[in-house]
Amino acid sequence: MALWRDEIIEAVTKMARTGHSELAVLEELWFHPYCTLTRELECLTVFDAHNVESRLRREIAPTAAGLIDRFRTKRLTHQVVALERDLVSRVDQTWCCSETDARQLGGDAGRPHSVRVIPNTVDTDYYGPVRDGSIAPASDAGGRGPVIVFVGAFSYGPNEMAARVLVHEILPALERERRDVSLLLVGRDPAPWMLEEARKRRGVRVTGAVPDVRPYLAEASVIAVPLTHGGGTRLKILEAFAALRPVVSTPKGAEGLGAIDGVHLHLRAIDEFPETVLKLLSDPVAAAGLTRRALDLVEQNYSWPVAAGRIRSAVAELVQRSV
CA distances from 6 to 11, 13, 33, 91, 112 (A): 9, 10, 12, 21, 33
* 132 and 247 part of one domain: yes
Please tell me the least confidently modeled range out of 51-60, 64-73, 99-108, 241-250: 64-73
Number of domains in the chain: 2
Catalogue the E-assigned strands of the chain: 23-27, 44-49, 93-96, 115-117, 147-151, 182-186, 204-206, 222-225, 247-249, 266-267
Average pLDDT over residues 267-285: 97
* pTM beyond 0.75, yes or no: yes
Give domain status of residue 2, yes or no.
no
In a domain? residue 103? yes
What type of residue is 168?
Answer: H
Q: Are residues 173 and 271 in the same domain?
A: yes
Range of the domain at 177: 124-302
- Let me know whether 142 and 162 are in one domain: yes
Per-residue pLDDT at 1: 39
- Do 15 and 146 reside in the same domain of the chain? no
Handedness of CA 217, 221, 225, 226 (dihedral sign): negative
pLDDT digits (tens, 9 = 90+) for 71-110: 777 788 888 888 999 999 999 999 998 888 888 888 876 7
The answer to whether residues 251 and 267 touch, using CB atoms and an 8 Å cutoff, is yes
Residue 280 lies in a domain: yes
Is there a single domain that holds both residue 105 and residue 173? Answer: no
Domain annotation covers residue 3: no
Question: What is the C-alpha to C-alpha distance for residues 121 and 130, in angstroms, rounded to an integer?
Answer: 18
Q: Is the model's pLDDT at 289 over the cut of 50? A: yes
pLDDT of residue 164 exceeding 50, the answer is yes
Domain co-membership, 141 together with 52: no
Q: Within a domain: residue 293?
A: yes
Q: How confident is the model over 205-234, as a mean pLDDT?
A: 91
Q: What is the pLDDT of residues 299-316, one digit of tens each?
A: 999 999 999 999 999 999
Same domain assignment for residues 192 and 147 = yes
Considering Cα of 127, then 129, then 131, then 137, what sign does the dihedral take?
negative
Q: Are residues 131 and 278 in the same domain?
A: yes
37 versus 147: which is more confidently predicted? 147
Instruction: For the chain, give the mean pLDDT.
Output: 88
Q: Are residues 203 and 280 in the same domain?
A: yes
SS3 47: strand
Pair (98, 172) in one structural domain: no
Please indicate, yes or no, if residue 5 is contained in any of the structural domains.
Answer: no
pLDDT in tens, 12-45: 556 555 655 688 899 888 888 888 888 888 889 9
For residues 172 and 259, membership in a common domain is answered with: yes
Question: Is residue 283 one of the residues assigned to a domain?
Answer: yes
pLDDT of residue 241: 98
4 within some domain: no
**Average pLDDT for residues 129-156, to the nearest whole number?**
88
CATH of the domain at 311: 3.40.50.2000
Confidence of residue 243 (pLDDT cuts 50, 70, 90): very high
Confidence band, pLDDT 50/70/90 cuts, at residue 234: confident
171 with 286, same domain: the answer is yes
* Interatomic CA distance for residues 239 and 256, integer angstroms: 15
